């Protein structure tokens, strides 16, 4: 693919799924000023202008440096293909928070199913031919799991976080400790919309409380649960144990069980 010099003024970067981190853009700008741009941005032609596909922070860095033009690879892509390229370019970056990753995976699901409607579960299929085509195209979870080398269950859980957390709540928790914890996002996703908004308000007032379950307890004014005793801990462990592990426990406890000594002497 050939690299072209594109006027920055001709590049539209407004419709982006991920907000620009301006502090990170300054860091990128410092690197670009010292070493130049080592990786061109990616754009597509839309009319006489260009639309950014990949490289939002690099483009922001160029603007900070007041560059007039920037090296770019011009790709041929329709709306859905361009969105998919943007999503995948971000998904492969390690610095994504669990909240950002949930957002990109949910958007990837929307784009993938728009491109392959025959893969939707429960979707209308007009013919046997459509059924056969759908069987040949991997489901969203399977295809994405293979590309990202993560489990389908992880993808489905991430998408569920995005869907079950209210849009205004997602916006307010971005950049907070909640966005950086998958388990806390799962706890947030379990709550009602009204409770989610109360949690956001609580976080803003008392930022040192960093467990959603504890925040909910305080909002509902419930007493702290008593610590589990030895018996409760044993029962919880027993319920989680496999059959083989339970047999090991029984064998270990057997010498102390009533009647064990009599049975051994009788034998």
Q: Is the pLDDT of residue 71 over 90?
A: yes
Q: Is the pLDDT of residue 199 over 90?
A: yes
Distance CA 49, CA 198 (A): 44
Distance CA 122, CA 29 (A): 48
Rounded average pLDDT over 167-178: 92
Task: Decide: residue 134, CB within 10 A, 0-12 exposed, 13-18 middle, 19+ buried.
Answer: middle
- Number of residues written out for the chain: 267
Q: Is the pLDDT of residue 94 over 60?
A: no
Domains and CATH numbers, the chain: 1-76 (3.90.1530.10), 79-88+97-164 (no CATH), 167-225 (no CATH), 230-266 (no CATH)
Q: Is the pLDDT of residue 123 over 50?
A: no
Q: Is the pLDDT of residue 34 over 80?
A: yes
Rounded average pLDDT over 173-196: 94
Q: Is the pLDDT of residue 149 over 60?
A: yes
Portion of the chain with pLDDT greater than 90, in percent: 44
133: alpha, beta or left, given left = phi > 0 and alpha = psi -120 to 50?
A: alpha
Mean of the per-residue pLDDT values for the chain? 84
Q: Is the pLDDT of residue 44 over 70?
A: yes
241: alpha, beta or left, given left = phi > 0 and alpha = psi -120 to 50?
A: beta
Comparing CA positions, the residue from 30, 55, 35, 31 lying closest to residue 43 is: 55
- Are 199 and 143 in contact by the 8 Å Cβ rule? The answer is no
- Are 47 and 77 in contact by the 8 Å Cβ rule? The answer is no
Residues 6+ apart with CB under 8 A from 42: 52, 53, 54, 55, 72, 73, 75, 85, 89
pLDDT tier for residue 85 given thresholds of 50, 70 and 90: confident
Rounded average pLDDT over 65-70: 95
Q: Is the pLDDT of residue 267 over 60?
A: no
Rounded average pLDDT over 201-226: 92
Q: Is the pLDDT of residue 133 over 50?
A: no
| Of 47-61, 84-98, 149-163, 199-213, minimum mean pLDDT range | 84-98
Rounded average pLDDT over 172-182: 92
Rounded average pLDDT over 153-166: 91
């Amino acid at each position: 693919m050939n690299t072209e010099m594109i006027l920055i003024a001709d590049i539209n970067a407004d419709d982006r799924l991920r907000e620009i981190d301006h502090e990170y853009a300054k860091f990128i700008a410092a690197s670009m000023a010292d070493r130049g741009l080592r990786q061109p941005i990616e754009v597509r032609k839309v009319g006489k202008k260009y639309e950014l596909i990949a490289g939002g922070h690099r483009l922001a860095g160029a603007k900070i440096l007041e560059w007039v033009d920037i090296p770019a690879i011009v790709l041929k892509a329709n709306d859905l293909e361009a969105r998919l390229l943007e999503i995948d370019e971000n998904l492969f970056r390690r610095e994504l928070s669990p909240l950002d990753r949930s957002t990109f995976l949910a958007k990837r699901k929307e784009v993938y199913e728009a491109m392959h409607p025959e893969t939707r579960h429960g979707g209308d299929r007009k013919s046997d031919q459509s059924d056969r085509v759908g069987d040949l195209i991997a489901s969203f979870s399977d295809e994405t799991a293979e590309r990202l080398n993560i489990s389908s269950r992880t993808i489905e859980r991430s998408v569920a976080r995005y869907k079950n957390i209210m849009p205004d709540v997602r916006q307010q928790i971005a950049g907070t400790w909640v966005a950086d914890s998958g388990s806390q996002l799962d706890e947030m996703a379990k709550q009602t919309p009204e409770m989610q908004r109360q949690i956001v308000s609580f976080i803003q007032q008392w930022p040192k409380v960093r467990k959603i379950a504890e925040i909910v307890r305080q909002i509902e004014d419930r007493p702290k649960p008593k610590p589990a005793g030895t018996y409760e801990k044993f029962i919880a462990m027993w319920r989680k144990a496999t059959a083989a592990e339970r047999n090991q426990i029984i064998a270990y406890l057997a010498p102390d069980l009533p009647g064990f000594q009599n049975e051994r002497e009788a034998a």
